[in-house]
Structure 1
């Protein structure tokens, strides 16, 4: 089973935990500018994935939400997860792309 973890630098980041094994990482580019990082990961059971808010100031402690994996979209195959990401990178004539890291 595969899931896609999303991070938007400066806004939030999603971190893998034991039971979530990163497989591939992609940078999402909007008109050549990086906007998000997507990590396709293997899910090895029910876990809580931390989503860390990065919008606080230097003196504010980060806000961490633990999202149960049951709320993440799941894909039966790696190819299905890749296809879902490719669908995000195509919208009309907009300059959107994915760059494998």
Structure 2
């Protein structure tokens, strides 16, 4: 099972907790500027106990610990990547997912 984690520089970042392993990372480029980083992570632990940290970077830092069971899950890396392409494509607007 796979999750997609998102970080937006200057706004928030996500950090994987125990039970998650990064598989692929992509920068989302909108009109020539990197707007976000997406990490496709494999769930290697128990869904009920795995958590993701979401750290607010827009003001005074705050940390939220979100259970993985509340995040959208995908059966394969390919399914997660298809969803990323769907979320980041806007007709003829200049967007790209660049693997890092």
TM score, norm. by length of structure 2: 0.92
User: Does the Cα contact within 8 Å between 2:13 and 2:56 map onto a contact in 1?
Assistant: yes
- Match of residue 76 from structure 2: 77
Which has the larger strand fraction?
2
Pick one of 53, 56, 62 that aligns with 1:53.
Answer: 56
- Match of residue 96 from structure 1: 95
TM score, norm. by length of structure 1: 0.91
- Match of residue 31 from structure 1: 31
Quote how far apart the aligned CAs of 1:8 are.
0.3
**Structure 2: tracts of 5 or more residues without a match:** none
Measured in 1, the distance between the counterparts of 2:26 and 2:68 equals 20
Quote how far apart the aligned CAs of 1:85 are.
0.9
Misfit runs of 4+, over 4 Å = none
Length, aligned pairs only: 97
- Match of residue 66 from structure 1: 65
Measured in 2, the distance between the counterparts of 1:31 and 1:38 equals 17
Measured in 2, the distance between the counterparts of 1:37 and 1:66 equals 19
